[in-house]
Structure 1
Amino acid sequence: MKMLALALWMTGTANAAAAPAADDPLTRPMAVERAKEWLAPQPPERIFGKTWLVGFGGLSVALIDTVDGLVLIDGALPQAAPAILANVRAAGFDPGDIKYILSTEPHYDHAGGFAALARDTGATVVASARGAEGLRAGALAKDDPQLAYGGTWPAVTTRVRVVKDGDVLKLGDTEITAHATPGHTMGSMSWSWNACEGKICRQIVFASSLNPVSADGYRYTSAAGKPFVSGFAKSYKLMDALKCDVLISAHPDNAGEGRVNDKPGACRAYAERSRGLLAKRLAAEKAGTAK
């Protein structure tokens, strides 16, 4: 299956290169410094059971086959949408079978492609309440630590379904649980589900970013920053306790082990990495050395 997917992916890539698409406002490239790194091409890869990765070297996009339809998680930058759909086809699936697109956070590097993907597949976008606000606006929230970076992306104008922490999305033979993981944004959401191969089942976790990164001048030690610090603490507690046989992180380089991490304690290690970064950041702010 992997060899066939690779052959189809190479053919699709060649065809796309030979026939540039007409200008599309929903896939118009964003001028982002790390776009080339984030969108480094990757062929589709089956992770376990009916779970695939259909994204890129620096941005994860997952695909779940539920028998009664497909579920996509995250959508990368706006210009990535055609390549995501090409990878779905190369994996042997019809993009028209995508029923839901799940959001980890309302940032352009993970949600920029949603408007085009929802339009082209007819899928419903699923997000937290705060996440849905950002997706509908196509802009960062006013309290976002990265607000000063600026930047907007195509707003999602089609159906958006709001879910809460602990809600379960059911489709076909799959149940996907929403886990609120605030900190990076207050609307961040992680997702978990069981994937099986015969009698062997594993819980897969697609984790939202837990990186305490911000625009210059922002302070997590300020009154505005304290809710985010509390949010990180809640997310760490969740990740420490969550059953996690396979970790997929929104940015693959944060998973700790290549594109995924299937070692014991992967989610705890993911949280511990963020704990260290946040502690270092808070110390720098208190010492007056933070940017």
Structure 2
Amino acid sequence: MIEAISLFAWFAAASGAPIPAVDPLTQPIATSRSAEWLAPAVPEKIFGKTYLVGFGGLSVALIDTGEGLVLVDGALPQAAPAILDNVRKLGFDPKDIKFILSTEPHFDHAGGLAALARDTGATVVASARGAEGLRSGKHAADDPQLAYGGSWPAVTRLRVMKDGEVLKLGKAAITAHATPGHTMGSMSWSWQACAGEGEGKACKAIVFASSLNPVSADGYRYTAPSSAAIVKGFEASYKRMDALKCNVLISAHPDNAGAGRYNDKPGACRAYADRSRKLLAKRLADERVGAK
């Protein structure tokens, strides 16, 4: 388990303020998959000014825009110190992180956002529905995983972006893509990364995709009338992912995108959508059979 120590304690010590016994924003959320999700991974350059600073089972990306840094996703609460340490290992100052983009309001991707935003001064960016979940630190009422319960540290400094809206910072232009289904607030992000020294003259379209898995807590039924919007959301997300220009795919959970930490094979985003499309079709068919 990653040690739950935050920059907050360092700042408190430097200012002479009392150091809290525990940091409420990095208290571990224990799950049966914590060790797998937070398996240590060396920070890695993908292409141009895009890097990975996350873990074996949870992706976190870093973009150097030339006028500040952008982080994508925040993993679990206890992962925040390790994410910032990985940023430093690449030679960057975490205080240069201006924005943190959120893919979904679930604890495994949003749990660390509050600590990361506090320790860097960054603004968290999400969809309108995603922002609702981040503010509350709880699952939405229509979330297929609602019955799991639990909560994560709430985020207070937020910017809402719409589908198709572009976040511009320095040399980067990052586009928001609504990809509902796994949650109705899910958002994927894309940007162009251009070659650095020794990488030629090419530019590549990079997509950081939100989870598209049709998973749920026990008892949830995708065939229920109340789930119709969720199913339609998945269908819209498949079409959107199929149409995206995508030279490199980073998925919120790396194992969903294929082998390795990212997928730079042709058709990676379409294959990602097709994987979920097949899983959802099977889930719907199984539920219908079970209802007979």
Q: TM-score, normalised by structure 1?
A: 0.91
1:150 and 1:289 mapped to 2: Cα distance? 26
Q: What does residue 160 of structure 2 align with?
A: 162
Give 1:179's aligned amino acid: H
1:168-179 equivalent positions in 2, closer than 5 A: 168-179=166-177
Q: What does residue 226 of structure 2 align with?
A: 224
2:29 and 2:140 mapped to 1: Cα distance? 19
1:196-235 equivalent positions in 2, closer than 5 A: 196-197=194-195, 199-235=201-237
Kindly state the Cα deviation for residue 258 of structure 1 after the two structures are TM-superposed.
Answer: 1.1
Give the match's secondary structure for 2:225. coil
Give 2:243's aligned amino acid: A
Give the match's secondary structure for 2:129. helix
Give the match's secondary structure for 1:58. coil
Give the match's secondary structure for 2:226. coil
Residue of structure 2 aligned with 1:258, choices 252, 257, 260: 260
1:54-65 equivalent positions in 2, closer than 5 A: 54-65=53-64
1:67 and 1:91 mapped to 2: Cα distance? 15
Give 1:186's aligned amino acid: M
Q: What does residue 151 of structure 1 align with?
A: 150
2:22 and 2:89 mapped to 1: Cα distance? 24
1:289 and 1:49 mapped to 2: Cα distance? 51
Give 2:268's aligned amino acid: A
Q: What does residue 29 of structure 1 align with?
A: 28
Two-structure CA RMSD over aligned residues (Å): 1.7
The number of residue pairs the alignment matches comes to: 273
2:69 and 2:226 mapped to 1: Cα distance? 39
Kindly state the Cα deviation for residue 162 of structure 1 after the two structures are TM-superposed.
Answer: 0.2
C-alpha deviations, 1:121-161, integer Å up to 9, x for none?
Answer: 0000000000000000000001100000011000012x200
Give the match's secondary structure for 1:224. helix
Q: What does residue 72 of structure 2 align with?
A: 73
2:291 and 2:238 mapped to 1: Cα distance? 26
- Moved beyond 2 Å, runs of 4+: none
Give 1:221's aligned amino acid: T
Give 2:209's aligned amino acid: A
1:249 and 1:224 mapped to 2: Cα distance? 28
Q: What does residue 248 of structure 1 align with?
A: 250
1:91 and 1:226 mapped to 2: Cα distance? 45
1:31 and 1:257 mapped to 2: Cα distance? 26
Give 1:277's aligned amino acid: L
2:131 and 2:274 mapped to 1: Cα distance? 28
Give the match's secondary structure for 1:101. strand
Q: What does residue 99 of structure 2 align with?
A: 100
Kindly state the Cα deviation for residue 289 of structure 1 after the two structures are TM-superposed.
Answer: 7.5
1:183 and 2:185 are equivalent in the alignment: no
1:262-273 equivalent positions in 2, closer than 5 A: 262-273=264-275
Gaps of 5+ in 1: 1-12
